Amino acid sequence: MTTIEQKKHNCFIQIKKFCNLSSMQEKKLEDYVNLLLSHNQSFNLIGNSTTENIWERHILDCAQLIKFIDNFDLKFADIGSGAGLPGIVLSILGLKEIHLIEKSFRKCEFLRKAKLFSNNRLLINNSKLEELNNQKYDYLVSRALAPLPKLLEYSIKFLNNDGFCLFLKGKNLQFEIEESQKIFEFDFDLFKSITSQEGNIIRLKKIIKK
């Protein structure tokens, strides 16, 4: 078994600890990774330094969000989707409807190729978040898009009243929470990432601007 195959195998073992991963889903994740790697130079999708560890750094990192989603039948949006991380991964793992919102036309071209790997409803919206109106979702997910105060501005605009946000965040999260609390009221839970000692996941609800 090659190094990349071992990393893929380890990734699947970890995902199966919190998700019923079928052989078909494994194949679709593998196809998505192959597409991502083959198009990375042309579309500037992920950092070159992360490609060797793509299965843990990107796939498992995104897949762990599934642990915090109770209902796959709700309406989801991946804001600032980029390469489809986490949106494509979560769609392959079972979310019934997710909208990928991405301002880059080139990255949306890639997303249109990648959406073929999901059997669920996956819509691509080539728009700037600031220019979107009349869009409401039950869940917002995001990874590496913006500091938390900015993400909460988007949440106020796009989240249903009883909706949730799930954001993958880094080591500065506590500072970002404190800055956000100066502007917003919200309930939140924190979880440690399984892929990084400095990584965190924050789940928010009842977000109100002061």
Q: How many domains does the chain contain in total?
A: 1
Q: What pLDDT, in 10s, does the model give residues 130-156?
A: 999 889 999 999 998 999 999 999 999
Three-state DSSP at 39 gives helix
Give residues with Cβ within 8 angstroms of 204, minimum separation 6.
152, 155, 164, 165, 167, 186, 187, 188
- Domain hosting 202: range is 3-209
Q: What's the pLDDT band for 1 if we cut at 50, 70, 90?
A: confident
Please state, in angstroms and rounded to a whole number, the distance separating the CA atoms of residues 133 and 194.
35
Q: What pLDDT, in 10s, does the model give residues 32-56?
A: 999 999 999 999 999 999 999 999 9
Q: For residue 135, what is the domain's CATH number?
A: 3.40.50.150
Q: What number of helices (H) and strands (E) belong to the chain?
A: 8, 7
